[in-house]
Amino acid sequence: MQTQKIPGVKHVIAVASGKGGVGKSTVTANLAVALAKQGYKVGLLDADIYGPSIPKMMGVEGEQPGVTGTQGEERIIPIEQHGVKILSIGFFLPAKDPAIWRGPMASNALKQLMNQGQWGELDFLLIDLPPGTGDIHITLINELHVNGAIIVSTPQQVALASAIKGLNMFRNKDIHIPILGLVENMAWFTPEQHPDEKYFIFGKENCEKFAKEEGLELLERIPVVQGISESGDAGEPVSMDSDSITGKAFHALAEKVVTFSSTKRFYYVKDN
């Protein structure tokens, strides 16, 4: 399949899930900030055309990206925050206006962000996908050279049952995008006041078992912590503090992403 590379961008990594609300955007925002704090040049493309949450999570809601270039050759200048270059369809929609678009409109909006974004030199461009396997995914896979994908799931059976659809999309023999591995989000609950306690409210070994069955690396296990959600709402991802317990988890994930990308030791999962 003929896909395009974005000039100057070394690694494009998509973050996907089967089910919605499992923490893709939280993981993508924190991973982006962690990579930037580790000294990498990072871009973040919010491809969730229907419910863009990156502007809020990165603290740039309501910002308006500038446009440069001559007519017909316009380039959109990403907003920079926490060391990350960000573009989101959310910048172009009124905050309370739901985007009820037909597939082709959504696909065109994504293509514009990909192709007209003035990304410059990047080590990593992370793509926060909508849940499932819809038009946006197909557009991304057909148009852009994606170096790898991360699958996010909670340990609930319903989340894992749909994660498999996301996996199958990437490892389809015509697409064959390497999977870096699985991020288990909401792995356990730890009360803020009792950091040593772990309550496995959604199942203790489900993700580990799933990863083993599918030949995936379990990249990181992120607990449910109030601070993760609060900092997301406040636009200051927890990974800004690399010493906090949750910050450490995202920094460890970032290190794995770097290793995989530099060694190309991506896990190719079994063909379907």
Residues near Mg ion (CB under 5 A) are: 24-25, 53
Nearer to Mg ion, 53 or 246 (CB): 53
- Residue from 32, 46, 48, 85 binding ligand ATP (CB under 6 A): 48
Which of helix, strand or coil describes residue 30? helix
Residue 83 or 227 with smaller CB distance to ligand ATP: 227
Q: Whose structure tokens read 């199942």?
A: 203
Quick one: which of 30, 53, 88, 139 contacts ligand ATP (CB under 6 A)? 53
Q: Residue from 26, 88, 147, 153 that binds ligand ATP (CB under 6 A)?
A: 26
- Helix-strand-coil split of the chain, %, nearest 5: 35, 20, 40
Binding pattern to ligand ATP, positions 167-186, x when CB under 6 A?
------------------xx
Angle between helices 245-263 and 24-37 (to 10 degrees): 80
- 185 binds, options ligand ATP, Mg ion, none, Cβ within 5 to 8 A by partner type: ligand ATP
Per CB under 6 A, 229 contacts ligand ATP:
yes
- Only one residue has tokens 């995008």, namely 177
**Shortest distance in whole angstroms from residue 225 CB to ligand ATP:** 5
Tell which one of 3, 20, 198, 209 touches ligand ATP (CB under 6 A).
20
For ligand ATP, which is the closer residue by CB, 20 or 118? 20
State the amino acid at position 28 in one-letter form: T
**3 state DSSP class of 257:** helix
How far apart are alpha carbons 221 and 201 in whole angstroms?
14
Closest approach of ligand ATP to the CB of residue 202, in Å: 11
Contacts of 140 by beta carbon, 8 Å cutoff, 6+ apart: 14, 47, 110, 114, 127, 129, 146
